[in-house]
Amino acid sequence: MLLLISPINREEALESIEGGADIVDVKNPKEGSLGANFPWVIKEIRELTPEDKLVSATLGDVPYKPGTVSLAAMGAHVSGADYIKVGLYGTKNHDEAVEVMENVVKTVKEISEETIIVAAGYADAHRVGAVEPMEIPKIAKDAGCDLAMLDTAVKDGHTLFDYLDLNQLKEFVDEAHGYGLLTALAGSVKKDQLKPLHDIGCDVVGIRGAACVGGDRNTGKIHHTAVAELKELCDSF
pLDDT band at 220; cut points 50, 70, 90:
confident
61 bridge partner residues: 87
Q: Please state the rounded mean pLDDT for residues 211-219.
A: 71
Examine the pLDDT at 51 and tell me if it is beyond 70. yes
Question: Using CA atoms, how far apart are residues 69 and 52, in angstroms rounded to an integer?
Answer: 28
Q: Please state the rounded mean pLDDT for residues 171-188.
A: 97
- Secondary structure element (H or E) that encloses residue 106, with its range: helix 94-109
pLDDT in tens, 83-131: 999 999 999 999 999 999 999 999 999 999 999 999 999 999 999 999 9
Using alpha carbons, select from 197, 190, 196, 206 the residue that is nearest to residue 4.
Answer: 206
Share of the chain above pLDDT 90, in %: 95
- Non-local (6+) Cβ contacts of 116 within 8 A are 54, 82, 83, 84, 146, 147, 182
pTM, whole model, 2 decimals?
0.95
Q: Please state the rounded mean pLDDT for residues 153-178.
A: 96
Question: Using CA atoms, how far apart are residues 217 and 234, in angstroms rounded to an integer?
Answer: 20
Examine the pLDDT at 157 and tell me if it is beyond 90. no
Q: Using the 8-state DSSP alphabet, how is residue 91 labeled?
A: -
Which domains are present in the chain?
A: 2-236 (3.20.20.70)
Q: What is the pLDDT of residue 200?
A: 98
Examine the pLDDT at 156 and tell me if it is beyond 90. no
Show which residues are catalytic.
Answer: 27, 85
Examine the pLDDT at 218 and tell me if it is beyond 80. no
Q: Please state the rounded mean pLDDT for residues 193-213.
A: 95
Examine the pLDDT at 219 and tell me if it is beyond 70. no
pLDDT in tens, 16-46: 999 999 999 999 999 999 999 999 999 999 9
Q: What is the pLDDT of residue 217?
A: 57
Question: Using CA atoms, how far apart are residues 80 and 108, in angstroms rounded to an integer?
Answer: 12
pLDDT in tens, 128-153: 999 999 999 999 999 999 999 999 99
Query: Average pLDDT of the chain?
Result: 96
